[in-house]
Structure 1
Amino acid sequence: MSAARRRAVNLAHLLTTTARRLPARDALVRGSLRLTWRELDSRVSSVADALRARGIGRGDAVLVHSPNHVELVETMFAVWRVGAVFAPANFRLTPSEVAGLAELTRPSALVCHADYPEHADAVAGAVPLRGGTLWIGAEATIESALSGSAEPRDARGAEPHEPDEPVREGEHAWYFFTSGTSGRPKAVVLTHDQLGFVVNNHLCDLLPGLTADDAQIVVAPLSHGAGIHLLPQVARGAKTVLPTAARLDPAEIWRLVETERVTNAFTVPTILATLTQAPEAAQHDLSSLRHVVYAGAPMYREDQLRARRVLGDVLVQYYGLGEVTGNITVLPASEHDRPSPDGVEFGTCGYPRTGMQVSVQDDDGRELPTGQQGEICVAGPAVFPGYLRNDDANAASFRDGWFRTGDLGLVDEQGYLYVTGRASDMFISGGSNVYPREIEERLLRHPAVAEVAVVGVPDPKWGEIGVAVCVAADGDRPDDDELRTWLGGTLARYKLPKRFVWWDAIPKSGYGKVVKRTIRQQLTAAGAPS
Structure 2
Amino acid sequence: MSVAVTAPKGGVAPATRRVMNLSHFLRQAARRFPQEIGFVHGAATTTWSDMDTRVDAMVAALTAKGVTKGDRVLVQSKNCLQMFESMFACFRIGAVWVPTNFRQTPDEVAYLAKASGATLMICHADFPEHVKVAQAESPAIAQVIGIGNAPFGEDYDALVAAHLGTTAPAADVEYDDPCWFFFTSGTTGRPKAAVLTHGQMAFVVTNHLCDLMPGTTQNDASVVVAPLSHGAGIHQLVQTARAVKTILPPSERFDVAEVWGLVEKWKVTNIFTVPTITKMLVEHPSVNQFDRSSLRYVIYAGAPMYREDQKRALNTLGKVLVQYFGLGEVTGNITVLPPALHEPDDGPHVKVGTCGFERTGMQVQIQDDSGNEVAPFETGELCVCGPAVFAGYYENPEANAKSFRNGWFRTGDLGHMDEQGFFYITGRASDMYISGGSNVYPREVEEKLLAHPALVEVAILGVPDPMWGEVGVAVCVAREGAQVNEAEIAAFLDGKVSRYKLPKRVFFWDALPKSAYGKITKKMVREALEERGLLPLDKQMEKSA
* TM-score, normalised by the number of residues in structure 1: 0.95
The answer to whether the Cα contact below 8 Å between 1:54 and 1:131 also exists between their aligned partners in 2 is no
Aligned twin of 1:259: 265
- Alpha carbons of structure 1 residues 241 and 330: separation in structure 2 relative to 1, 3 Å: same
Q: 2:150 matched to 1:145? A: no
Aligned twin of 2:360: 354
Aligned twin of 2:178: 172
Counterparts in 2 of 1:374-385, with a 5 A limit? Answer: 374-385=380-391
Q: CA deviation at 1:152?
A: 7.9
Q: CA deviation at 1:174?
A: 0.5
What letter matches 1:268 in structure 2?
Answer: V
Q: Which one of the candidate residues 58, 64, 84 is aligned to 1:47?
A: 58
Aligned twin of 1:17: 28
Q: 2:95 matched to 1:89? A: no
What letter matches 1:196 in structure 2?
Answer: A
Question: What is the alpha-carbon distance in structure 2 between the residues aligned to residue 149 and residue 332 of structure 1?
Answer: 44
Q: CA deviation at 1:475?
A: 3.8
Counterparts in 2 of 1:267-416, with a 5 A limit? Answer: 267-337=273-343, 346-416=352-422
Aligned twin of 1:235: 241
SS at 1:367 equivalent: coil
Q: Which one of the candidate residues 240, 246, 250 is aligned to 2:256?
A: 250
What letter matches 2:91 in structure 1?
Answer: W
The answer to whether the Cα contact below 8 Å between 1:42 and 1:153 also exists between their aligned partners in 2 is no
Q: 2:456 matched to 1:450? A: yes
The answer to whether the Cα contact below 8 Å between 2:146 and 2:152 also exists between their aligned partners in 1 is yes
Q: CA deviation at 1:297?
A: 0.5
Which structure 1 residue ranges, 4+ long, deviate > 6 Å from structure 2?
Answer: 139-142, 338-342
SS at 1:350 equivalent: strand
Q: 2:38 matched to 1:27? A: yes
Question: What is the alpha-carbon distance in structure 2 between the residues aligned to residue 505 and residue 346 of structure 1?
Answer: 27
The answer to whether the Cα contact below 8 Å between 2:314 and 2:344 also exists between their aligned partners in 1 is no
Query: Residues 457-493 of structure 1: CA distance to partner in whole angstroms, max 9, x if unpaired?
Result: 1111211110000111124342222211211111000
Question: What is the alpha-carbon distance in structure 2 between the residues aligned to residue 112 and residue 280 of structure 1?
Answer: 34
The answer to whether the Cα contact below 8 Å between 1:43 and 1:152 also exists between their aligned partners in 2 is no
Counterparts in 2 of 1:190-209, with a 5 A limit? Answer: 190-209=196-215
Q: CA deviation at 1:147?
A: 8.8
Q: CA deviation at 1:97?
A: 0.4
Q: 2:443 matched to 1:432? A: no
Aligned twin of 1:507: 513
What letter matches 1:397 in structure 2?
Answer: S
The answer to whether the Cα contact below 8 Å between 1:44 and 1:75 also exists between their aligned partners in 2 is yes
- Alpha carbons of structure 1 residues 148 and 467: separation in structure 2 relative to 1, 3 Å: closer
Q: CA deviation at 1:346?
A: 4.5
CA RMSD of aligned residues (A): 2.0
Structure 2 residue ranges without an equivalent (≥5): 1-6, 8-12
Question: What is the alpha-carbon distance in structure 1 between the residues aligned to residue 31 and residue 298 of structure 2?
Answer: 29
SS at 2:355 equivalent: coil
Counterparts in 2 of 1:109-188, with a 5 A limit? Answer: 109-138=120-149, 145=155, 148=158, 151=161, 154=164, 158-159=165-166, 161-188=167-194
Aligned twin of 2:10: none
Q: CA deviation at 1:5?
A: 2.6
The answer to whether the Cα contact below 8 Å between 1:339 and 1:347 also exists between their aligned partners in 2 is no
Question: What is the alpha-carbon distance in structure 1 between the residues aligned to residue 358 and residue 91 of structure 2?
Answer: 30
SS at 2:155 equivalent: helix
Aligned twin of 1:218: 224
Q: CA deviation at 1:163?
A: 1.4
The answer to whether the Cα contact below 8 Å between 1:323 and 1:384 also exists between their aligned partners in 2 is yes
Q: CA deviation at 1:429?
A: 1.2
Q: CA deviation at 1:56?
A: 0.6
Q: Which one of the candidate residues 55, 62, 70 is aligned to 2:81?
A: 70
- Alpha carbons of structure 1 residues 99 and 141: separation in structure 2 relative to 1, 3 Å: closer
State the identity %: 54
Q: CA deviation at 1:417?
A: 0.7
SS at 2:516 equivalent: coil
SS at 1:441 equivalent: helix
Question: What is the alpha-carbon distance in structure 2 between the residues aligned to residue 474 and residue 169 of structure 1?
Answer: 52
Q: Number of residues paired by the alignment?
A: 524
Question: What is the alpha-carbon distance in structure 1 between the residues aligned to residue 24 and residue 82 of structure 2?
Answer: 18
Question: What is the alpha-carbon distance in structure 2 between the residues aligned to residue 389 and residue 236 of structure 1?
Answer: 34
Greater displacement, 132-141 / 51-60: 132-141
Q: CA deviation at 1:327?
A: 0.2
Q: Which one of the candidate residues 481, 503, 508 is aligned to 2:487?
A: 481
Structure 1 residue ranges without an equivalent (≥5): none
What letter matches 1:310 in structure 2?
Answer: T
- Alpha carbons of structure 1 residues 146 and 408: separation in structure 2 relative to 1, 3 Å: closer
